[in-house]
Amino acid sequence: MTVDAFRALLAQTNLYVYERSVDEAENTVVATVRKDLVKYLAVAGEKSDLFTGEQEGELKLCPLTNENAKALQTLFPYTKPKSHRGHQFTMGLGDRLGLATAGHIRALAGHDIYPVFAQQSIRELNLTHRTFTDVISAATFNVFQEGYKKGFGADGDHLKTKEEIKYALESGCTMVTLDCSEHIDQKAATYPIEKINEMYAALPENVRKHYEETYLNKELPIVGHMDEDELRRVVVVFWDGIAHAIDCFRYIDEIKTVEVDFELSIDETLTITTPTEHFVIGNELHNVGITPISCAPHFSGSFEKGIEYAGNLNDFARDFEVHQKIADFFGYKLSLHSGSDKFAVFSTVARVTKGHVHVKTAGTSWLEAMRVVSEVNPDLYRKAHKFSIEHRPEAERYYHVSTKVADIPNIDLQNDAYLAEYMNMPASRQTVHIAYGMLLEQPWFREEFFRTMAEHEEEYYAALVRHIGKHVRYLTAELSI
Ligand code: ZN
């Protein structure tokens, strides 16, 4: 089967063809097509049997299932996620809907940024009722649809246990973001020193001995001298988390079948990560021969979902510079979580890291979908908006947000033309942002939402090019990448 013969076959159907997708391998041609708003792979040629679908003459019409994603990955290896090792600027672009990646691809066009298109946490998987395989398959189909061949990663985000790591890697994830927060005694960061001393004394003797020998009475690079009180606090808070990180890293090494990128995240803690804490963590990993690809400290200021950075920018810049020095010292990148919409810090992030950084975004692409809904299906937006306000206390169980519902202008007093404004206001952005899981569970929302998105996918891609494109522009302006 040649591409020309394949196109001739397609021309006899009433299928809409995604032109950039058409590709050939092993005498087999495949394209993404659409029929009545539903997408399929159209397949013809020698390897058609790899795919499952309805044979219609010489063409086989195959639904976008996980099995057919696997077949696509076999035939076209660029549709399969792989490690981002060696790439300077990497960006996590979570797509909770399975619809956004094509827009993300267009937003990155012309930039040397390696994307991690598949990126979900277990929390997000649960809230969207998806599996890691579903998430990766969606990225695979989007990548194929756009004819994007430069590679992408798949991040099992905020994984906490070996079971979760195993699940992610078996599903094809190429990156593990380990979240040690359950092994970190977060409250101890602010305990009085008497209590720290008591807790420290109760730790195993070999642990205490190891830390004292490694850190006391030494002039440490970057962070200098550590006194006993400071060391005891760091050890009480972090020793178990560090042990867990080492244990999980070794486990990954043991079970992995492909190259896996290991990120250590300590961003979801109660207190900001001090340089000393960061140094000790990096050093403990280094001393046992572990170099993560990236590390996400809890930076100063507040990085809440879906809204601009809040905090003192001078403090952030100073803090970020020291963390960068520590990351350079141990040979990994800094990783910025909840990077969506933090435009005010991007210049600093770019300048300090020189573009050697990982930045994660996710929820903001859901908000852009809701912006499209507010413009093309105002009735659905109104219902979803009210639902989000009503259910915000439940949503706050999963996400910490500080904006107030009282600051959202009453939607009943607004005409349809105004609705998109809600996607520009912090309070309504956060309210709709954290409701995604509950909304997608409502049959009245789910069905009409996905139909609306299918009818208006080009508008959605354009919205993502604008919004994610703004992130990329601010992050790369002075880097020429
Ligand atoms: Zn995080």
Residues 155-182 have pLDDT tens digits of 999 999 999 999 999 999 999 999 999 9
Instruction: Give residue 142's pLDDT.
Output: 98
Q: According to DSSP H, which parts of 331-405 are helical?
A: 343-353, 363-376, 378-390, 392-395
Tell me the pLDDT band of 281, cut-offs 50, 70 and 90. very high
Q: Please provide the size of the chain in residues.
A: 481
Tell me the pLDDT band of 478, cut-offs 50, 70 and 90. confident
Tell me the pLDDT band of 246, cut-offs 50, 70 and 90. very high
| CA of residue 121 to ligand 1 center, whole Å | 9
| CA of residue 158 to ligand 1 center, whole Å | 6
Instruction: Give residue 268's pLDDT.
Output: 86
Instruction: Give residue 279's pLDDT.
Output: 98
Instruction: Give residue 399's pLDDT.
Output: 87
| CA of residue 394 to ligand 1 center, whole Å | 21
| CA of residue 148 to ligand 1 center, whole Å | 27
What mean pLDDT, rounded, does the chain reach? 97
Instruction: Give residue 115's pLDDT.
Output: 98
Q: Is the pLDDT of residue 153 over 90?
A: yes
Q: What is the Cα–Cα distance from 102 to 141, expressed in whole angstroms?
A: 9
| CA of residue 379 to ligand 1 center, whole Å | 34
Find the Cα–Cα–Cα–Cα dihedral 21, 24, 28, 29, rounded to 10°: 30
Instruction: Provide CB contacts within 8 A for 176, sequence distance 6+.
Output: 155, 156, 159, 165, 168, 169, 248, 252, 260, 261, 262, 263
By the 8 A CB rule, do 125 and 362 touch?
no
> In this structure, which amino acid lies at residue 217?
N
Mean pLDDT calculated for residue range 391-402: 93
Tell me the pLDDT band of 128, cut-offs 50, 70 and 90. very high
Question: What is the pTM (predicted TM-score) of this model?
Answer: 0.96
Q: What is the Cα–Cα distance from 300 to 389, expressed in whole angstroms?
A: 29
Instruction: Give residue 418's pLDDT.
Output: 98
Mean pLDDT calculated for residue range 243-260: 98
85-186+214-363 CATH fold: TIM Barrel (3.20.20)
Q: Residues with catalytic annotation?
A: 157, 263
Instruction: Give residue 400's pLDDT.
Output: 87
| CA of residue 441 to ligand 1 center, whole Å | 24
Mean pLDDT calculated for residue range 272-295: 97
CATH 3.20.20.70 boundaries in the chain = 85-186+214-363
Q: Is the pLDDT of residue 481 over 80?
A: no
Q: Is the pLDDT of residue 480 over 80?
A: no
